[in-house]
């Protein structure tokens, strides 16, 4: 028999255990860990609901608050699918929820008795097949589809002040309606930051965006609500990951591999829209003067900033342009990794604040290029520039983040690499857990190879499906900081890319 599991991405670890138990009971279990995204993602889910013998709900408060999960349930009911709620987490009220009238299996403690009860209930529900209604009910729309529509509008080369405010109002409305969903909240924040970075953004729009982003920051970090006005103006737009692709929540592609994470909000089509928006922002701002961001305030409570961290001021345009000139074009990167379909999805002229949390924060610098905690306070550091490059389309196999950091002298640049080698070595052999929006990934750091001014370190995802190589190379007063991730990533490729950037620095 075919079983469909409806679940919240925040419960993924628990759902994995439930799925394993059902498969051990010789059940054919389907859930959306292998989908690419976009309209095809949602259409595939609806198809699987139609074909399932039993619709299983992984019941928790997270599921009850998930808009996509509620859409799945309504569609399953309209199709007359047998529904089995399986409680896997906390539920505020067992009487006030859409499944209260049904038999609910308590699987919070996966004992043998609970497993027998679960499999027995599945067989009972599937013993009397229920035909699909004819005609079929209307299919529910893609959850949060308005974000893709607004993303398309934001890709326009020019936005009038009126249209900017209209976009802002719709994003704010979406936040009011869907802000309790971490995936929706994160992607709305990403679009707001992209709107803020546009060359034609008005002062009024930018100020309103800052207010909304401060509210989102307060939701994400409730303990820091008093400091809600953070460095929203100077944070670079994050590459579309995390929660939406099958890779780690980093522009260079850390996290999980091979397309096996639930995409609650943006699928491949929407990711493409985000990538286009980022490219448009880059192209339109290169020819004109960008409006300066207001001075940011420190946020000592941010989950991704060290206590007392102060937002970094972007370098002047001349310095930024010079650093940018050292970076490789997508075609040059593609020639090394054997991928002709690379695009730029993010550019930044400030240090990066890793949005994910690591079980060992001391490994942030080894995990992420130009990570703020690794460079902040480094002797002689003056400026940085970087860009994310990845394969276009769904589930990009290659993700590269190439960056350069300027120091006041060659000696201080090399000293930074030497000091970094010691910090990276402290992470050698460690298996760390990366958490982003309730999703977790396991990575293991390998040995540090090379010595100053060139060092390299590999990390491998727990399931072996993805490898990342981090290279650090000092040349003159510049440190090349590069991360290459992919199923077939090689140290030699990372070294070659870093060497090509170093060659441009030395010219």
Q: Residue 11: its pLDDT value, please?
A: 87
Q: Residue 446: its pLDDT value, please?
A: 92
- The pLDDT confidence band at residue 464, using thresholds 50, 70 and 90, is low
Give the strand pairing for 381-391 and 357-358.
unpaired
Across 19-23, 454-458, 484-488, which has the greatest mean pLDDT? 454-458
The DSSP output letter for 371 is B
Tokens representing residue 332 in the block: 């040059």
Q: Residue 135: its pLDDT value, please?
A: 92
**What is the tens place of the pLDDT at every residue in 421-436?**
999 999 999 899 988 7
Cβ burial, residue 390 (10 Å; 0-12/13-18/19+): buried
Adjacency order of strands within the sheet including 28-30: 28-30, 2-6, 54-59, 83-87, 105-106
Across 133-154, average pLDDT: 85
- Cβ(39)–Cβ(272) under 8 Å? no
Provide the 3-class DSSP secondary structure of residue 300: coil
**What is the tens place of the pLDDT at every residue in 146-175?**
887 888 788 788 889 888 888 988 898 888
Give the strand pairing for 357-358 and 431-436.
antiparallel
Q: Residue 151: its pLDDT value, please?
A: 81
Across 79-93, 261-275, 429-443, which has the greatest mean pLDDT? 79-93
- The pLDDT confidence band at residue 13, using thresholds 50, 70 and 90, is confident
- Cβ(142)–Cβ(39) under 8 Å? yes
Report whether pLDDT(248) > 60: no
Residue extents of the structural domains in the chain: 2-126, 314-507
Q: What's the CATH superfamily of 2-126?
A: Toll/interleukin-1 receptor homology (TIR) domain (3.40.50.10140)
C-alpha–C-alpha distance, residues 494 and 425, integer Å: 18
Report whether pLDDT(267) > 50: no
Report whether pLDDT(452) > 60: yes
Instruction: Check residues 28 and 261 and name the one with the higher pLDDT.
Output: 28
Report whether pLDDT(498) > 60: yes
Across 441-457, average pLDDT: 88
What angle in degrees, to the nearest 10, is found between the helix axes of 182-196 and 161-178? 170
C-alpha–C-alpha distance, residues 2 and 122, integer Å: 10
Least confident of 43-47, 88-92, 299-303, 436-440: 299-303
Cis peptide before 182 (omega within 30 of 0): no
Report whether pLDDT(410) > 70: yes
C-alpha–C-alpha distance, residues 14 and 108, integer Å: 9
pTM higher than 0.85 for the full model?
Answer: no
Tokens representing residue 50 in the block: 């139609």
Report whether pLDDT(317) > 70: no
Q: Residue 394: its pLDDT value, please?
A: 53
Across 19-28, 75-84, 121-130, 255-264, which has the greatest mean pLDDT? 75-84
Neighbouring-strand partners of residue 459: 445, 468
Helix (H) or strand (E) holding 176: helix 161-178
What CATH number should be reported for the domain whose range is 314-507? 3.40.1000.70
C-alpha–C-alpha distance, residues 212 and 300, integer Å: 19
Give the strand pairing for 83-87 and 54-59.
parallel
**Sole residue written with tokens 């306070």:** 377
**What is the tens place of the pLDDT at every residue in 198-226?**
888 898 888 889 988 988 888 777 654 43
Q: How crowded is residue 162: how many other Cβ atoms within 10 Å of its Cβ?
A: 9
Least confident of 127-131, 168-172, 288-292, 325-329: 288-292
**What is the tens place of the pLDDT at every residue in 373-393?**
899 889 999 999 999 888 765
Across 55-63, average pLDDT: 93
């Amino acid at each position: 028999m075919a079983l469909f599991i409806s679940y919240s991405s925040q419960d993924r670890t628990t759902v994995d255990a439930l799925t394993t138990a059902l498969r051990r009971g010789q059940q054919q279990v389907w859930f959306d860990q292998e989908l690419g995204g976009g309209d095809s993602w949602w259409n595939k889910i609806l198809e699987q609901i139609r074909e399932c013998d039993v619709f299983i709900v992984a019941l928790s408060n997270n599921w009850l608050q998930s808009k996509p999960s509620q859409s799945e349930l309504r569609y399953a009911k309209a199709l007359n699918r047998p529904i089995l709620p399986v409680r896997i987490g906390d539920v505020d009220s067992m009487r006030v929820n859409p499944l209260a009238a049904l038999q609910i299996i308590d699987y919070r403690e996966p004992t043998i008795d609970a497993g027998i009860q679960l499999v027995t209930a599945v067989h009972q529900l599937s013993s009397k097949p229920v035909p699909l209604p004819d005609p079929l009910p209307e299919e529910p729309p893609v959850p949060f589809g308005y974000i893709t529509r607004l993303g398309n509008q934001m890709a326009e080369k020019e936005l009038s002040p009126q249209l900017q405010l209209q976009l802002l109002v719709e994003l704010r409305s979406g936040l009011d309606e869907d802000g309790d969903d971490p995936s929706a909240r994160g992607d709305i924040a990403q679009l707001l930051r992209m709107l803020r970075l546009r060359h034609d953004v008005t002062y009024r729009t930018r100020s309103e965006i800052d207010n909304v982003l401060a509210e989102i920051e307060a939701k994400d970090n409730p303990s820091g609500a008093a400091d809600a006005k953070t460095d929203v103006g100077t944070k670079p737009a994050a590459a579309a990951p995390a929660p939406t692709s099958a890779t780690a929540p980093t522009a260079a592609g850390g996290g999980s591999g091979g397309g096996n994470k639930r995409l609650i909000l943006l699928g491949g089509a929407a990711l493409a829209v985000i990538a286009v928006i980022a490219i448009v922002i880059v192209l339109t701002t290169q020819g004109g003067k960008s409006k300066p961001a207001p001075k940011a305030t420190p946020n000592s409570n941010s989950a991704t900033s060290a206590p007392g961290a102060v937002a970094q001021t972007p370098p002047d345009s001349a310095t930024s342009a010079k650093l940018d000139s050292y970076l490789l074009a997508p075609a040059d990167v593609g020639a090394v990794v054997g991928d002709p379909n690379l695009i730029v999805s993010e550019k930044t002229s400030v240090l990066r604040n890793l949005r994910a949390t690591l079980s060992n924060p001391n490994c942030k610098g080894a995990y992420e290029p130009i990570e703020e905690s690794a460079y902040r306070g480094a002797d002689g550091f003056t400026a940085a520039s970087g860009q994310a490059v990845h394969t276009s389309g769904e589930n990009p196999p290659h993700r590269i983040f190439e960056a350069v950091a300027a120091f006041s002298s060659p000696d201080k640049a090399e000293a930074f690499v030497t000091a970094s080698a010691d910090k990276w070595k402290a992470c050698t052999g460690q298996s760390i857990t990366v958490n982003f929006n309730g999703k977790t990934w396991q990575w293991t750091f390998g040995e540090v190879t090379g010595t100053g001014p060139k060092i390299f370190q590999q990390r491998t995802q727990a399931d072996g499906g993805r490898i990342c190589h981090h290279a650090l190379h000092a040349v003159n007063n510049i440190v090349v900081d590069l991360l290459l991730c992919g199923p077939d990533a090689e140290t030699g490729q990372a070294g070659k890319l870093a060497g090509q950037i170093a060659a441009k620095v030395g010219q």
